[in-house]
Amino acid sequence: MRSVRAYRALTRLYPPRFRREYGDAMVQLFQDRLRHDGSRRAWSNALRDLTISAPYEHWEGFMHATTHTKLVAAVAVTSAAAVVFLLVGGAILGLGLLVLLAWELYAILQTRGHHLSGRSWWRFAASGIALFAILFVIFAMPWPSAWRSSIDGELAWFIGMLGFSTSLVLVVIGAFLGFAHWITRRSHHTAI
C-alpha cells in the first residue's frame, strides 16, 4: 500500500482538471499493475507514462486557457528568469527580461480593460529618473563607516542592482511609449 500512496502523491503532478477526471482510474490501474506485473514493472510503466503525459496535459490545459491566464503564466516565468539572470550576473539579459516583463504587465492591464493614454509616457520616464536619483543619492553619499559596515554588502548590491535596473526599465518604457505616441500623432497629422 505504500507504493499506492506514493503513486497517488505523484498524480499531483497532473493538472487538477485531469486528476478529477482520471485520478481514481489511474490509481486503480496502478494497483492492478502492481498485482499482475510486480512492483518494478508497474513503477517503470507509471513513471514512463508520467514523464510523457503530465507535461502534455499541462500544455493542453495551457493551450485552452484564456489570454489573461497565459499572460499571468508568462509573467511568472519571465519574473523567475529575470531574477535568476540578475543574480547570476547576466545583467543585460536580465534587463531585457525586465523590459519584457513590463510589456507583459501592460498587456495584462489591457486585457482587463485598462488603457494607458499615449500622453502618460512621461510619467514612466520621470519615475525612472526619480528612482535613479534617489538610489544614486543613497549609494553615493559618504555615510559614516559604522553605518556602511552594518549593512551586508551583497544585500546592498542586490537592492541597488534591482533598483537601478527598475529605473532603467521605467525610462526605456517611457521612451518607447513616447516614441509610439509621437509616431501616432505624426501619422495622424499627415493623414489630415
What pLDDT is stored for residue 149 in this prediction? 74
Instruction: Calculate ∠ Cα 138-133-117, nearest 5°.
Output: 140
DSSP state letters, 28-55: HHHHHHHHHH-HHHHHHHHHHHHHHHHH
Query: Are the C-beta atoms of residues 117 and 166 closer than 8 Å to each other?
Result: no
Higher model confidence: residue 115 or residue 95? 95
Q: How far apart are CA 187 and CA 192, in angstroms?
A: 9
Assess whether pLDDT exceeds 70 at residue 115.
no
- Answer for the pair 20, 5: CB distance below 8 angstroms, yes or no: no
SS3 of residue 119 by DSSP: helix
Give the pLDDT of residue 84: 78
pLDDT tens by residue, 131-166: 989 988 888 877 777 777 777 778 877 888 888 878
pLDDT tens digit sequence for 18-73: 888 888 888 898 888 888 888 888 888 888 888 888 888 878 877 777 777 777 78
Q: What value, to the nearest 5°, has the Cα angle with vertex 39 and ends 36 and 45?
A: 85
Domain residue ranges of the chain, discontinuous segments joined by +: 2-63, 78-115, 116-192
Please tell me the predicted confidence (pLDDT) of residue 130.
92
